[in-house]
Amino acid sequence: MNHFDFVIIGSGIAGLYSAILARKHGSVLIITKGSIEDCNTRYAQGGIAAAIGKNDSPTLHFKDTIAAGDGLCDKEAARILVNEAPERIAELVRLGVPFDTLYGEIALTREAAHSVSRVVHAGGDATGQHIEVTLSNLVRSLKAQILEHSLATRILVKKGIVSGVKVLNCHTGGTEEFSCRFLILATGGAGQLFKFTTNSAVATGDGLALAYDAGAEIIDMEFYQFHPTALHLPGVTPFLISEAVRGEGGILRNIKGHHFMPDYTSDSDLAPRDIVARSIIHEMRKTKSDKAFIDVTHLPAHTITTRFPNIYHFCREHGLDITRDLLPVAPAAHYMIGGIKTNIWGETNIPGLFACGETACVGVHGANRLASNSLLEAVVFSKRIIQRASGQVKIEEQATTQGLADMRTTLSRRQAQRKVPPPRLAALQTLLWNKVGIIRNKEGLTQAADTLASWQKLLPQPTTRPTYELSNLLLTGRLVVEAALLREESRGAHFRTDFPKTSPQRQGHLVFNKSTIHP
């Protein structure tokens, strides 16, 4: 059977949760380019933010979300996020996610920029893994059809409406088409754009590229969040050190042992991620070092080993006992804040095409995502997608979001550079890290934009998973760079040394569309 009511691309929390809900309303096909377990969700350590504590409220959660978003959060979407959070947590509990408890109640921890402890977690620092395992087992038990090792390569559109998707079999190289009533993109982010990232290898911007090529609008791509603290050891792939480590009392120190965060902000170690990441970069440059340290040696050893078992054991495997040793860290690319533009029901500008999770942008994160709002966003708006697609809600016309002004634009036409080497993944990652990283300027961004445009022209037609992924990353990278060039200010996760201040005149959104493309 090649026709389904729902085709869902991606097998992280957004895709799996959507599939579980959609199965009640029709036939479901899940398409994933690896196995069903290959996704970023399983690496999420911190947890899910929700106002379920006695000293908390959705109003307080809303205020923290808006403050972190630095003027660009969509307030309607943010209110939906925080108001529906408690029920989504309850639903995950009903589905079997084993959240940690304390004295019979769900345990809560605090992360940076949250005014109270409101982060729900599972297995200490293994929240993502527990959610992924629980939901993937449920999906298999529901007998939804799962197409593994299959890469979606093109969204099929007829008369302006989604009709299906073209898929590449990653093992055989063969292609197949599937038709559907509704197509849901839940493909995750694009951390593989950067040399240093906490993301898994599957995060290559696939859904974003698919949507853009089909004519969907893409928004806020200049805002890419860099996690301040990834394990930094020679020869070791960056490993996320949860923000909750600082929430539990961890202290950032430079190579001389100085506790430096109070020098940069009154929020100290619990400042928003963009501030902490830039502070670490400044401190590394000041001390001529490639790392800083998190110090948890003053905390009880049993607190560290029970609250952060994954981090503790991973570090022990690499010769560090963090109950006694300082933890070397440096920033790494972590989360794509922008993405496929959707309304509060997950709808794109193409009828029948929905997006949720990291690949989507409904506006809840603004310019700088509040910690642990990402898994929450995935379940809140996945639920709303199924409600909308299944007819459980009726609206007279397509709901709109993004209360601030949008400026629509296209990719700039750029002259090909001379002597540009052939595009390679490693070269792309180095270019983006050096020129489009945590601290940016016009000169570096222009160099990156010209190089990416030249590479895109040189790239042959993709035929395999690696070549499709590289093509998707090149397009995603161009959208990030062009947006960063156009936003001549510093706001949230986007910081330019040539425009170091926030500009009230720039308090709007950059939206790319394919009405005219100049590759």
Q: Is 145 part of any domain?
A: no
* Predicted local confidence at residue 497, as pLDDT: 97
Q: Is 112 helix (H, G, I), strand (E, B) or coil?
A: coil
Q: Percent of the chain beyond pLDDT 70?
A: 95
Banded pLDDT at 406 (limits 50, 70, 90): confident
Closest to 65 in 3D by CA, of 53, 77, 47: 77
331, 353, 377: which is the final residue of a domain? Answer: 331
b/e 219-235 (16+ beta carbons within 10 angstroms → b): bbbbbbbbbbbbbbbee
Q: Is 51 part of any domain?
A: no
* Predicted local confidence at residue 13, as pLDDT: 94
Quick check: 419 pLDDT over 90? Answer: no
* Predicted local confidence at residue 416, as pLDDT: 65
Q: Indicate the residue type of 416.
A: A
Q: Report the number of secondary-structure helices (H) and strands (E) in the chain.
A: 13, 22
306, 331, 356: which is the final residue of a domain? Answer: 331
Q: Give the CA distances from residue 55 to residues 51, 108, 115, 116, 218, in Å, rounded to whole numbers and listed in that order.
A: 9, 11, 10, 8, 38
Quick check: 374 pLDDT over 70? Answer: yes
Quick check: 303 pLDDT over 80? Answer: yes
Quick check: 183 pLDDT over 50? Answer: yes
| Beta strands across the sheet bearing 339-341 | 360-361, 339-341, 218-219, 509-512, 406-409
Round to whole Å and give the CA distance between 274 and 495.
9
Banded pLDDT at 44 (limits 50, 70, 90): low
| 249-275 mean pLDDT | 94
* Predicted local confidence at residue 516, as pLDDT: 43
Quick check: 311 pLDDT over 70? Answer: yes
Quick check: 98 pLDDT over 70? Answer: yes
Round to whole Å and give the CA distance between 342 and 254.
41
CA angle 158, 160, 166 (to 5 degrees): 45
Q: Is 481 part of any domain?
A: yes
Banded pLDDT at 402 (limits 50, 70, 90): low
| 490-506 mean pLDDT | 96
Q: Is 238 part of any domain?
A: yes
Quick check: 316 pLDDT over 90? Answer: yes
Banded pLDDT at 417 (limits 50, 70, 90): low
Q: Is 4 part of any domain?
A: no
Q: Is 342 part of any domain?
A: no
| 343-369 mean pLDDT | 97
* Predicted local confidence at residue 514, as pLDDT: 86
* Predicted local confidence at residue 45, as pLDDT: 66
Quick check: 63 pLDDT over 50? Answer: yes
CA atoms within 13 A on the CB side of 27: 11
Q: Indicate the residue type of 379.
A: V
Give the lowest-confidence range in 18-27, 419-428, 456-465.
Answer: 419-428
Any alpha helices (H) in 163-251, and if so which ranges? 206-214, 244-247
Q: Is 253 helix (H, G, I), strand (E, B) or coil?
A: strand
Closest to 363 in 3D by CA, of 379, 352, 377: 377
- Domain range for 232: 228-331
Q: Cβ neighbours of residue 280 under 8 Å, at least 6 residues apart?
A: 228, 229, 252, 292, 329, 330, 331
How many distinct structural domains can be found in the chain? 2
Residue 380 tokens, joined:
């809140």
| 95-103 mean pLDDT | 93
Query: Are 326 and 410 contained in the same domain?
Result: no
Q: Is 271 part of any domain?
A: yes
Quick check: 519 pLDDT over 60? Answer: no
Residue 121 tokens, joined:
């977690």
- Are 399 and 343 spatial neighbours (Cβ–Cβ below 8 Å)? yes
331, 354, 386: which is the final residue of a domain? Answer: 331
Quick check: 278 pLDDT over 70? Answer: yes
Task: Report the chain's mean pLDDT, rounded to a whole number.
Answer: 93
**Dihedral angle, C-alpha 86, 89, 90, 94, nearest 10 °:** 170
* Predicted local confidence at residue 124, as pLDDT: 83
Quick check: 399 pLDDT over 60? Answer: no
Output the domain CATH number for residue 427. 1.20.58.100
Banded pLDDT at 404 (limits 50, 70, 90): confident
Active site residues: 273
Output the domain CATH number for residue 301. 3.90.700.10
| 302-329 mean pLDDT | 95
User: Which residue in this structure is represented by tokens 């921890």?
Assistant: 109
Quick check: 161 pLDDT over 70? Answer: yes
Q: Is 119 part of any domain?
A: no
Quick check: 392 pLDDT over 50? Answer: yes
| 22-36 mean pLDDT | 94
